[in-house]
Amino acid sequence: MVKAIRFSKVLTQQAVDLEGSPKRVVTHARVLAATARQLEAVGYTSLTVKDIVSDAQMARGTFYLYFENCSFAAEAVMIAYFTFLSEGRPHIETCDTFDRILQSNLYYVSTYARNAALLACIEPLSRERSAFKRFREKNNHNWCQRVIQDFESHFAEAAQKANTEVKTLLVWSMSAMVDELLREIYISKSARHKKLAKKPEQVAELISLAWFRAFYAQDVPAGKLKWTKSLTTIKRLGRDV
pLDDT tens digits along 91-130: 878 878 899 899 999 999 999 999 999 999 999 999 999 9
Q: Is a pLDDT exceeding 50 seen at residue 241?
A: no
Residues 109 and 168 in one domain: yes
Q: Is a pLDDT exceeding 60 seen at residue 175?
A: yes
Residues 60 and 79 in one domain: no
Predicted local distance difference test score (pLDDT) of residue 164: 79
Residues 52 and 89 in one domain: no
Closest CA to 225 of 204, 240, 196: 204
pLDDT tens digits along 187-201: 999 888 888 888 999
> Rounded to whole angstroms, how far apart are CA atoms 109 and 223?
22
Number of domains making up the chain: 2
Residues 51 and 93 in one domain: no
Residue 234 located in a structural domain: no
Residues 65 and 82 in one domain: no
What's the number of CA atoms in the CB half-sphere (13 Å) around residue 166?
7
Predicted local distance difference test score (pLDDT) of residue 177: 92
CATH number of domain containing 49: 1.10.10.60
- Residue that terminates a domain, selected from 33, 55, 72: 72
